Every structure is written in structure tokens, then in C-alpha cells.
Chain A
Amino acid sequence: MFYRENGQYKTTYGADQQMLPILQDRIFMAVLLLFAFIGVPLLASDYLLLSILVPFLILALAATGLNLLVGYCGQISVGHAAFMAVGAYSAYNIVLRVPQLNFLVVLVLAGLIAAAVGMLFGIPSLRIKGLYLAVATLAAQFFMDWTFARVKWFTNYASSGSVSTATIDLFGWRVDTPARKYLFLLAVVTVFTLMAKNLVRGHLGRAWMAMRDMDVAAEVIGIRPVYAKLTAFAVSSFYVGVAGALWGFVHLGSWEPLAFDINLSFTLLFMIIIGGMGSILGSFFGALFIVALPILLNQVPAMLGLPLATATKSHLEVMIFGSLIIFFLIAEPNGLARLWAIGKEKLRLWPFPH
């Protein structure tokens, strides 16, 4: 009834190509952003900000990065936590060695370094794909884990191998309180999401999708596989590297190589499977789902008067993850994002579906 595009005419090509072609969507997005920037910091508790929203935003950014590669370009990676680690350690070393640099510059530099490493490990994708590529990315995972644990220079010769960061200072604005951390992340993530959204609608994104859907045909119509695949690896690693730097500096504060181990790679992969492959929105859904599920599992049974043992809860959690992955792959391969789209479709026809 309220959600209908009747009477919204498009008179220019520009209007037709908008990111959100329906007025109601634009209003919704504006309200959502306004609420996220102003309402949430005022209303949310510190716990909600620090344990749910901060990891959610960072992981959503990382999942978006992974989605660009897996969902849009069709190249699987089970080693993306390695590129997060590259981002985090690059940022740590840049801050350590050039302390006067602004953190935003550090973030971009860390992303670029991650992109370079990502491209390096993406080279095998020119010859292989599918399962074979999975092994190549696994090599990246284990090799990078080892590098950061062993090469002392990366951790500034810390005897424990653990590094810790100082508070981020942006032009005198210190990112120290939960609300500031959240706002800082929200701003970064909004900018990067907007960029990603435009990227996938543009020339590059279309090249990736062509590569994903049928590589031979893509080559025939003039898309160079080398270019498409390596850019996908580069952009994806850039995003993930930035997310890694944020994960280290804003969320963890101090970390060891284990913080970026293979389990994180799997978690990122699960996010995009559950959220929806080939959908930026899906990355956000997936991240929210994975961040919130353990917390829900912790609180819902207790609310229903069924206190579960700690061990059971945690076993239950992996079991639920496992079953959900299978469930989504079977029932809705496009994930939560597809459900959202269906919901919107239904809403357009409501209350007269016929």
C-alpha cells in the first residue's frame, strides 16, 4: 500500500540508473542512516555498541570484501583472514614507524599493502579455479599466519609476539569511547559500502560477474581474465585489509597472530553464504547474523527458563552454524538477502497480491 512505485517516472538516464530507484527506498535508507548516526549512539548501551555493533560493522566490511571476490567474481577463497592479518600488521607497523601519519591515511596504506599481497596469492587463479584455488588461498592463510608469528620485525620484537595499539587520534578527535568507536566505524563502513555498491554496478563489477557466470564467454566478449581476476583479488583484499586494520585497532586493541586464524576465514565465508552471495546487503545480513547468533543462544534459552551448560551452548552454536549453511545452500542459495528481496516484492503487492 505504502510501498509502491506508481507515479514515479524517470525522465533521465541518470534517474533510471540510480542506486535506489524507488522513492520509498531512498527515504528508508536516509532514515536508517540518520538513525544509525544519531539515534544509535544516543540509545544503545555500551555493551550493544562494543560487542555487537563494532564487530558487526567491521565484519560486514570484511564480508563485503570477500563477497566481491567470491560472490561477484566467482573465485573461492578460504584464506581471507590472512589478508585481514596483513592489513592489521601493516597498520600497526606504519603507526609504529611513522607515528605522525593520520590514521585514515594509515588505513588506506594498510589496505593497499593487503591488496598487493592479495594479488600475489591471486595469481594462481589465472590457471586454476574452484577447489584448486581453495588450496592456494589456504596456502596464503597458513603462510601469513606463520610470517607474522615468526618474523620479529612485524611485531616490533615483542617477546610475547603480541602487539598492542594506542588510541586512534583523528585531528584531535580521540576514538576511545564506545560511541566514538561506533561512529568512526560507521562512517568508514558507509563510505566503503557506497564505493563497493557503485563498483559492482560499474564496468569492473560487470566484468567480474561475466567472469563468474561464464569465463570463456566473458573472454570472447573482450574481458581479459587476468585483469578481471586480479582486480577482484586486489579490491577484495583491500577491503579485507582495511577491515583487518580496524579489527586490530578498534575492536581488539591488542592481538596475536591467532586472532586471524583459519577459523576467521571460515566465519567470513559463512557470513556470505548465509547472508547472500553476490549481494552487498547480504554481507551485512550475514555479519549481523553471525555476530548475533552466539549472543542470542546465550540469552534466549535462559529467558525461556532453560539454562544450558556452557559447553552445550558452544557445541550447539557450531551445530546450528553447520546446519544453517547446508539449509541455506539447499533452500535459498542466495541467502538472507534474497529473503529480504522477496519480502520487499510481497510488500509492493500488499494488501492485494493478485
Chain B
Amino acid sequence: MKQHIGIVSVGVLLLAGLVAPLATGAGTPGFYTEVLLGGLMAGVLYSLVALGIVLIFKASGVFNFAQGAMVLFAALSVARMAEAMPLWAAALLGMGIMVLVAIVIERLVLRPLVNQDGVVLLMATLGVSYFMDGFGQTVWGSDIYSIELGIAKEPVMILEGVFQGGILINKDDVAAALVAALLVALLALFFQKTSTGRALRAVADDHQAAQSIGIPLNRIWVIVWSVAGVVALVAGMVWGAKLGVQFSISQVALKALPVVILGGFTSVPGAIIGGLIIGVGEKMAEVFLAPVLVKTFDLAGGGIENWFAYVLALLFLLVRPQGLFGEKLIDRV
């Protein structure tokens, strides 16, 4: 029980933060629900990016810093190609491109660096991310492009009878959540039911054992990076449809780092739940905590959501380094 004190206290703290705005009357229940939903929606996007990172980390032990750049690259490709062809064709072609990217990365970056230290691989993917940012913008341009999924952007008011003022909900947010759920279900099927999926899991469990029973590691890596590329594509399309496809996407993806810390580097459900916690946490903190801080310390504006995720991850690291669902095996000192 003693080793759980840390995690329990952080959990209690988070819960208290979640309940506090309602208890103190800082927001009406209707508005509170809207903030909660807004946080969940932001969280879905973080989760999608984190998902790609977790997949790659599980299979190859590489922390893929370039996942954000891949999201941007995929979204840019789809957005630009959709100008010349229907969206579904562009998306399919985009998948093809992401597979190609995966093959190139495996050949040129991963294979020569096999068996290197995790930090070296991290820095290599940092290089990949710089390259892809530049390459994507050279090929596709650096304007703001849009992906039209054909969902109305005007919000709908629901539950007006229940809460005073009702709750505003966006159809595209709901669609994003559904897409994310579908993607996770598909991935779960892929991992559980197909032989490639089983091979992937075997590799994730033990590289050497997997290799000794004849699973080709290189091919597995290509597959995993391709799957991560497709996840990036979905994330990019959801994100791009909401906010427009532009260079900045790759920067917001940095937030996926604390998400995987929270959820655990090797856990797919962890990535999802971690993303949601961070999304909700930072929106709640920004809307309800920041004004209090600003008033108390006479700050020049709020903006605590910029660091909230990282500091939360840092706290988490101190009490539970393996994350919520991660494996116990951790490089501890």
C-alpha cells in the first residue's frame, strides 16, 4: 500500500481539481460540461498523436519525436492532393505516401542505428522531424490549407431543458471522437486477429525471441511505422479539418510527450486515457484555475495550459514513472 501513496495522492489532487469549479460555483453546470467536453475533444487529438508514438515505441523501442512532423506531412499531402481529386482518393494516396515514408525511414535511419541507445534514436527522430517539416513545406507549400470533411461547423445546442443556457456541441468534434474510437477498434482487431498483428506483439514482447522464431524484424518495423503513419494521417485529417492544415500542427504535437508519460510508453489504452486526462486537465486549469492565479499574483494573463501538461507529467514521473498502464520495467536509477 505504501508505494501507492504517491499515485493515490496525485489522483486525489486531480479529482479535487475536477470537482472544485463545480463546488465553488466558478462555473454553471452547463458551462462546466462544455469545458469538460472541450477538454475531451482536445484530448482526442492528443491521444491520436500519442497512439502513433506508443505503437512505434512498443515495436522498436524508438521514441518517435517525428510523429508530429508525420501528422503535418500526412495532412499536407491529403489537403493538397484533395484539391485535384476526391477526398477519399487523396486519403488513400496519402496512406500510400505514409507507407513510403515508413520504408524510407526504416532503410535510412533505423537500420543503420539498430541497437543504439534510446537517446540516440530519439535525437535521430528529431532530425527526421526537422527534415520532414522542411520537405513537406517545400513539396506542398506553407500556406494554410483546408480539409473539408463536409461536417457543419456551426454548434448545436442540446439539453437546453436540463441546464440553464444549454450545452453547445460541435458535430465535427463528435465525428473526431467517433473516428478515434473506430481507429482504436480497428487497431485492436489488427493486433489480436491478424498474423502480422501477432508478430508485432511478439516483437514488442521480446525482440530476440521473436527473431529466433523467424519473424523478420526489419519488415515488422516497416509495418509498424506504416501503421503509425496511417494513424498520423487520421490525426492530421481530423486536426486539419478542425483547425486548418498548417506548419503549427507539428508543434502542438509536442504535447503528446507528456501524454505517453502519463499513460505509459507501451500502452495503447494508456495513450488514449492519458490524452483525455491531459486534455481535460489543461482546459479545466486554464478556464477555472488561471483566472484565480492571475488575480492572486497579478499576472499578465493566464496561459497555464502551456505548461500544465508537462508539469503534470513531471509530477507523475516522480510518483509512478511507468505511467498509468505501462510495464514495470523501467530504466530507473
Q: Do chains A and B touch in the complex (CB under 8 A)?
A: yes
> What is the interface of chain A, defined by CB distance below 8 A to chain B?
76, 124-132, 134-136, 138-139, 141-143, 145-146, 149-152, 161, 215, 225, 262, 266, 269, 273, 311-312, 315-319, 321-326, 329-330, 333
Say if the beta carbon of B298 comes within 8 Å of chain A: yes
> What is the interface of chain B, defined by CB distance below 8 A to chain A?
63, 108-109, 112-113, 116, 118-120, 122-124, 126-135, 137-138, 142, 254, 257-258, 261, 265, 297-304, 306-307, 310-311, 313-314, 317-318, 321, 330-333
Q: How far is the CB of B72 from chain A (nearest CB, A)?
A: 12
Residue numbers in B under 8 Å from A134 (CB-CB): 122, 257
Given the known interface contacts A126-B333, A134-B257, the answer about A329 and B310 at a Cβ–Cβ threshold of 8 Å is no
What would 10 A/B residue contacts be, using CB atoms closer than 8 Å? A126-B333, A130-B122, A150-B301, A215-B333, A311-B137, A318-B131, A318-B133, A319-B138, A330-B109, A330-B124
Partner among A130, A316, A322 whose Cβ is within 8 Å of the Cβ of B127: A322
**Across the interface, do B118 and A150 meet the contact criterion of CB distance under 8 Å?**
no
**Across the interface, do B303 and A329 meet the contact criterion of CB distance under 8 Å?**
no
**Across the interface, do A321 and B127 meet the contact criterion of CB distance under 8 Å?**
yes
Closest Cβ neighbor of A141 among chain B residues: B310
Instruction: Tell me, in angstroms, the Cα distance from A323 to B104 when the chains sit together.
Output: 13
**Across the interface, do B120 and A329 meet the contact criterion of CB distance under 8 Å?**
yes
Residue numbers in B under 8 Å from A161 (CB-CB): 300
Closest Cβ neighbor of B299 among chain A residues: A150
Q: How far is the CB of A237 from chain B (nearest CB, A)?
A: 17
**Across the interface, do B317 and A330 meet the contact criterion of CB distance under 8 Å?**
no
Given the known interface contacts A130-B119, A325-B130, the answer about A124 and B318 at a Cβ–Cβ threshold of 8 Å is yes
Residue numbers in A under 8 Å from B63 (CB-CB): 131
Q: Using A319-B130, A322-B130 as known contacts, list a sample of 18 further A-B pairs with CB atoms less than 8 Å apart, ordered by residue number in A.
A: A124-B317, A127-B317, A128-B321, A131-B119, A132-B321, A138-B257, A142-B307, A152-B300, A262-B254, A319-B134, A321-B127, A322-B132, A325-B123, A325-B126, A326-B124, A326-B128, A330-B113, A330-B124
**Across the interface, do B108 and A311 meet the contact criterion of CB distance under 8 Å?**
no
**Across the interface, do A325 and B331 meet the contact criterion of CB distance under 8 Å?**
no
Given the known interface contacts A142-B306, A143-B311, A316-B138, the answer about A76 and B127 at a Cβ–Cβ threshold of 8 Å is no
**Across the interface, do B126 and A266 meet the contact criterion of CB distance under 8 Å?**
yes
Residue numbers in A under 8 Å from B134 (CB-CB): 315-319, 322
Residue numbers in A under 8 Å from B299 (CB-CB): 150-152
Partner among A151, A321, A325 whose Cβ is within 8 Å of the Cβ of B124: A325
Residue numbers in B under 8 Å from A324 (CB-CB): 127
**Across the interface, do A130 and B331 meet the contact criterion of CB distance under 8 Å?**
yes
Closest Cβ neighbor of B297 among chain A residues: A151
Q: How far is the CB of A216 from chain B (nearest CB, A)?
A: 9
Most chain B CB neighbours (cut-off 10 Å) among A149, A315, A316? A315
Q: How far is the CB of A155 from chain B (nearest CB, A)?
A: 8
Instruction: Tell me, in angstroms, the Cα distance from A330 to B124 when the chains sit together.
Output: 9
Partner among B109, B122, B303, B307 whose Cβ is within 8 Å of the Cβ of A139: B307
Instruction: Tell me, in angstroms, the Cα distance from A59 to B134 when the chains sit together.
Output: 24
**Across the interface, do A323 and B138 meet the contact criterion of CB distance under 8 Å?**
no
Instruction: Tell me, in angstroms, the Cα distance from A128 to B315 when the chains sit together.
Output: 12
Instruction: Tell me, in angstroms, the Cα distance from A322 to B113 when the chains sit together.
Output: 15
**Across the interface, do B123 and A143 meet the contact criterion of CB distance under 8 Å?**
no
**Across the interface, do A146 and B257 meet the contact criterion of CB distance under 8 Å?**
no
Partner among B119, B128, B333 whose Cβ is within 8 Å of the Cβ of A128: B333
Q: How far is the CB of A82 from chain B (nearest CB, A)?
A: 11
Residue numbers in B under 8 Å from A127 (CB-CB): 317-318, 321, 332-333
Q: How far is the CB of A257 from chain B (nearest CB, A)?
A: 11
Residue numbers in B under 8 Å from A321 (CB-CB): 127, 130-131
Residue numbers in A under 8 Å from B113 (CB-CB): 329-330
Residue numbers in A under 8 Å from B132 (CB-CB): 322
Closest Cβ neighbor of A312 among chain B residues: B138
Residue numbers in B under 8 Å from A326 (CB-CB): 108-109, 124, 127-128, 131
